[in-house]
Chain A
Amino acid sequence: AQSVTQLGSHVSVSEGALVLLRCNYSSSVPPYLFWYVQYPNQGLQLLLKYTSAATLVKGINGFEAEFKKSETSFHLTKPSAHMSDAAEYFCAVSGPSNTGKLIFGQGTTLQVKP
């Protein structure tokens, strides 16, 4: 069965520091993986997705993620944090049976300190 684990429910970084949000997945089939961002009281916005074309995926707002099959990981990074990056981030893996269902992690709240 597919599942996602996000390590760390809260991450705090200083403005300008590296952002690293961790995501590990479990999937019985080659996975499609997604990162979404959610600002308070809003819907989710897609940051990037992995669909097997390239292991390093670049997304919006300077974020990128690397698919590592051997580690079953899809960690999200950004070289330099901005105050506007403060939000909740969700990793998701495609569900079984090609139904379009997504399995979401618990989310990681990113705090950016001035």
Chain B
Amino acid sequence: DGGITQSPKYLFRKEGQNVTLSCEQNLNHDAMYWYRQDPGQGLRLIYYSQIVNDFQKGDIAEGYSVSREKKESFPLTVTSAQKNPTAFYLCASSLAGTAYNEQFFGPGTRLTVL
């Protein structure tokens, strides 16, 4: 079955630690995205990548980093510089980074800072 996988489903982090969230897709999509979801705030774009080895900052990139070394993988690192990282993180992909292509979403990772 084609789709997007995110791991882990739940992640607990101590303050001051970096953590990496995994996102893998086998849909052969060129574009991938990371969103952060907080209650009552909808989805906010962190980073996106339209092609391998290239990515751009979204609206709330501070305290986060990404890489896109392979087409199917787009890991997100939440660094210690992110002031309030507790949130639900969603990865998505689309066939191409164009306006009319819908995005397909993974099941999400819930990050809690202890």
Contacts and interface: CB of A to CB of B under 8 A. Distances in A.
A106 B42 CA distance: 4
Contacts of A24: none
Given A100-B96, A100-B97, A107-B42, A45 B48 contact: no
B42 A46 contact: no
B13 interface: no
Interface of B: 4, 6, 31, 33, 40-45, 48, 50, 56, 58, 88, 90, 92, 94, 96-108, 110
8 contacts: A41-B88, A45-B105, A46-B103, A94-B100, A98-B98, A100-B33, A100-B103, A101-B33
A104 B105 CA distance: 14
Given A44-B90, A44-B105, A107-B42, A100 B99 contact: yes
Interface in A30-86: 32, 34, 36, 41-46, 49, 51
Q: Which residue of B42, B96, B110 has the most chain A CB atoms within 10 A of its CB atom?
A: B42
A103 B77 CA distance: 23
A101 B108 contact: no
Q: Which residue of A45, A101, A105 has the most chain B CB atoms within 10 A of its CB atom?
A: A101
Given A90-B42, A100-B101, A102-B103, 19 more contacts: A9-B40, A34-B102, A42-B107, A43-B4, A43-B90, A43-B106, A44-B90, A46-B102, A46-B104, A95-B99, A98-B97, A99-B97, A99-B99, A100-B103, A101-B33, A101-B45, A104-B43, A104-B44, A107-B42
Contacts of A101: 33, 45, 48, 58
Contacts of B41: 106
Contacts of B97: 98-100
Nearest to B91: A43
A22 to B, nearest CB: 15
B102 A49 contact: yes
B89 to A, nearest CB: 10
Contacts of A94: 99-100
